């Protein structure tokens, strides 16, 4: 810090912190010309994908703020969103009202799942990410039980185009044709051939404003305090466990709403697989945007969506151009997605150990000085 | 006192959400309307079909129906308005008729016989429910399928 109180710019630390986005910028700069895709096509795709994914990724910010790391349990919210959409589709509530109803239906399910997840994560402090990751698999089993066996037999499902021919269980794919891109096309705007989903962006902007406002509230400050140091926060009179549970519940609810926005853009639900990879890819996108396990901002979300999805779009074509096989590009993007999560986790663990070591070192120095006196 | 106020706010929020959901149920109910331009005999009266009927919903042409044709449109809510451009005979001039209908909430698919509707028949004559025939299919294997995020090596 200098005299005016501003932090001095340190190129080394900036490069270290931004290594992942820089790496992705280099990959994209290399792949874009090879892919042969036109700029207008790329911009169109990026804008569409930003509208589709940004809300989901934003749902990850609150648990990071509360020091719970990357919430792999956002899949739970995605499942709740899917259940809401299945029910709204069966009740033939279409368009924007159908989406709103699905969101309302998903909220209590998300609250219950978030509460459960939060309680479990409180029992596994310091191991939140792996616990939430495994929890997503566990709840997926419950989801399968509900959707595959209870819907149609216990939970009434009227329409045969949703039900499996055996009379119970939901089909592999549920059409959302009656809701398809209704939010995206609510306020139509096309600039130079680029279709802009204005209404979706407004919803995303509202969420961004909410997050910015929330950070300044008492609860938001509590979450930040808990995220920085749980013991200090507890000493300051903050109910740490409750704060952590609330952060997970909020994230789960937002993930459910985000999943509904995501699926309305896609136009159908892959009932048994839509949610399965969503957590992984949202987390990868956030990390690509320069976020870390303990620090993430709204800017990271948007940068991440742009870079990660740009790589998603160009990698198969670039792979095909280089090797003659587009599958290489497919594998490359999958490899990169997992790799970026791994790198982020390693970096987090390394910096944590480094800090611990530095803390220990400082303590040793202090003790030595004490002895000298 | 504070906890009572908190409880009251929560109750109001809950009621508001339930109210919004109920409102969505009413305004968002989708119906598929099938338009028939088929002659109909009912209650001793014959409603003959014109040469062509063009159906316009929200200013957009939904279908052009010659005698014996069926068209369809999807609508939201229980109030349905359409404009029928009727050509009685070939090369004759089109006549526009604005029609407003109240749709029953419980029907997904509604068949409207246009000649009967235009002939002033009662609701139960020109309107009937479309019931989808159930086609026997093999049980599909449920947990498969993909989306754009599916991993090529997915479950392995």
**Would the CB atoms of A169 and B138 count as touching at under 8 Å?**
no
Q: Can you name the residues that pair with B80 across neighbouring β-strands? A: B101
Reported confidence tier of residue B135, pLDDT bands at 50, 70, 90: low
CB A106 within 8 A of CB A86: no
Q: Which of A183-192, A311-320, B96-105 has the lowest mean pLDDT?
A: A311-320
Average pLDDT over residues A11-31: 83
| Residue in the block written with tokens 């990390």 | A287
**Mutation for testing the B interface, residue in A145, A259, A273, A274 having most B CBs under 10 Å:** A273
Contact flag A273-B150 (C-beta cutoff 8 Å): yes
Chain A residues in contact with B17 (beta carbon < 8 A)? 104, 107
Band of residue A180 on the pLDDT scale cut at 50, 70, 90:
very high
Nearest in space to A317 (alpha carbons), one of A37, A118, A44: A37
Q: State the pTM of this model.
A: 0.88
Q: Give the tokens for residue A177.
A: 């044709």
* Min distance A268 CA to chain B CA atoms (Å): 9
The C-alpha atoms of residue A197 and residue A190 are separated, in whole angstroms, by: 9
Binning pLDDT at 50, 70 and 90, where does residue B153 land? very low
pLDDT at B16 exceeding the cut of 50: yes
Residues in chain A: 373
**pLDDT tens digits for B34-83?**
999 999 998 888 999 999 999 999 889 999 999 999 999 999 999 999 99
Nearest by CB to B142, from A105, A148, A277: name it. A148
Q: Is the ipTM of this complex over 0.90?
A: no
Q: Which residues in A lie closer than 8 A to residue B14 (C-beta atoms)?
A: none
Any chain B CB within 8 A of the CB of A277? yes
- The C-alpha angle with vertex A212 and arms to A206 and A217, in degrees rounded to 5, equals 115
Out of B30, B146, B152, the one facing A273 most closely (by C-beta) is B146
Spatial contact of B36 and B113, defined as CB atoms under 8 Å apart: yes
* CA–CA min distance B148, chain A (Å): 9
Count the neighbouring beta carbons within 10 Å of the beta carbon of residue A214: 16
Task: Specify the 3-state DSSP secondary structure of A277.
Answer: coil
Query: Comparing C-alpha atoms, which of A282, A298, A149, A80 is closest to residue B149?
Result: A282
CB A243 within 8 A of CB A40: no
Burial, A356: exposed, middle or buried (Cβ in 10 Å; 0-12, 13-18, 19+)? exposed
pLDDT at A205: 97
**pLDDT at residue B137, rounded to an integer:** 63
How would DSSP label each residue in B33-83? Answer: EEEE---EEETTEEE---SEEEEEETTEEEEEEETT-EEEEEEESSEEEEE
Q: Name the token pair of A240.
A: 């740490």
pLDDT value at position A329? 72
**What mean pLDDT is reported for chain A?**
90
Q: Measured between beta carbons, which residues in chain A are less than 8 angstroms from residue B141?
A: 172
The helix/strand/coil state of A10 is coil
Q: Which is nearest to B132 in space by CA: B58, B84, B72, B67? A: B72
Average pLDDT, chain B: 85
């Amino acid at each position: 810090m200098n005299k005016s109180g501003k932090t001095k710019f340190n190129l080394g630390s900036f490069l270290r912190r931004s290594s992942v986005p820089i790496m992705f910028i280099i990959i994209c700069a290399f792949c874009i010309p090879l892919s042969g895709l036109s700029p207008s096509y790329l911009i169109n795709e990026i804008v569409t994908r930003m509208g589709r994914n940004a809300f989901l990724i934003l749902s990850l910010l609150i648990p990071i703020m509360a020091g719970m790391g990357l919430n792999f349990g956002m899949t739970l919210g995605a499942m709740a969103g899917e259940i809401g959409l299945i029910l709204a589709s069966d009740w033939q509530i279409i368009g924007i009202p159908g989406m709103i109803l699905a969101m309302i239906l998903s909220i209590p399910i998300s609250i219950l799942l978030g509460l459960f997840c939060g309680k479990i994560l409180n029992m596994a402090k310091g191991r939140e990410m792996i616990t939430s990751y495994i929890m997503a698999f566990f709840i997926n089993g419950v989801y399968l039980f509900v959707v595959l066996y209870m819907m149609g037999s216990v939970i009434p499902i009227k329409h045969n185009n949703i039900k499996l021919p055996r009379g119970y269980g939901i089909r592999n794919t549920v059409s959302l044709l009656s809701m398809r891109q209704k939010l995206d096309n609510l306020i139509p705007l096309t600039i130079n051939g680029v279709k802009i989903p204005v209404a979706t962006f407004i919803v995303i902007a509202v969420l961004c404003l909410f997050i910015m406002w929330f950070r300044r509230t008492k609860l938001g400050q509590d979450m930040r305090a808990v995220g920085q140091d749980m013991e200090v926060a507890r000493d300051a009179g903050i109910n740490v466990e409750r704060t952590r549970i609330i952060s997970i519940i909020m994230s789960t609810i937002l993930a459910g709403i985000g999943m509904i926005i995501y699926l309305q853009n896609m136009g159908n639900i892959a009932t048994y697989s839509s949610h399965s990879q969503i957590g992984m890819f949202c987390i990868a996108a956030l990390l690509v945007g320069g976020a870390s396990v303990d620090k993430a901002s709204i800017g990271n979300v948007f940068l991440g969506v742009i870079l990660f999805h740009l790589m998603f779009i160009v990698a198969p074509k670039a792979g095909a151009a280089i090797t003659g096989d587009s599958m290489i590009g497919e594998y490359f993007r999958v490899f990169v997605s997992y790799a970026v999560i791994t790198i982020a986790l390693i970096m987090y663990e390394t910096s944590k150990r480094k800090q611990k070591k530095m803390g220990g070192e400082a303590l040793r120095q202090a003790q030595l000085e004490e002895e000298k006196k | 006192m504070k906890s009572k106020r908190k409880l009251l706010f929560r109750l109001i929020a809950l009621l508001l959400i339930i109210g919004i959901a109920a409102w969505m149920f009413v305004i968002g109910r989708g119906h598929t309307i099938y338009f028939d331009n088929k002659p109909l005999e009912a209650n001793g009266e014959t409603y003959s079909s014109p040469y062509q009927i063009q159906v316009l919903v929200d200013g957009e042409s939904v279908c052009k129906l010659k005698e014996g044709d069926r068209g369809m449109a999807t609508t939201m809510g229980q109030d349905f308005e359409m404009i029928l451009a009727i050509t009685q005979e070939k090369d004759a001039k089109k006549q526009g008729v604005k029609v407003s209908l109240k749709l029953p909430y419980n029907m997904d698919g509604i068949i409207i016989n246009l000649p009967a509707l235009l002939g002033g028949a009662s609701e139960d004559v020109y309107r009937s429910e479309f019931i989808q025939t159930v086609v026997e299919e093999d049980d599909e294997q449920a947990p498969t399928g993909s989306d754009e995020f599916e991993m090529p090596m997915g479950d392995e």
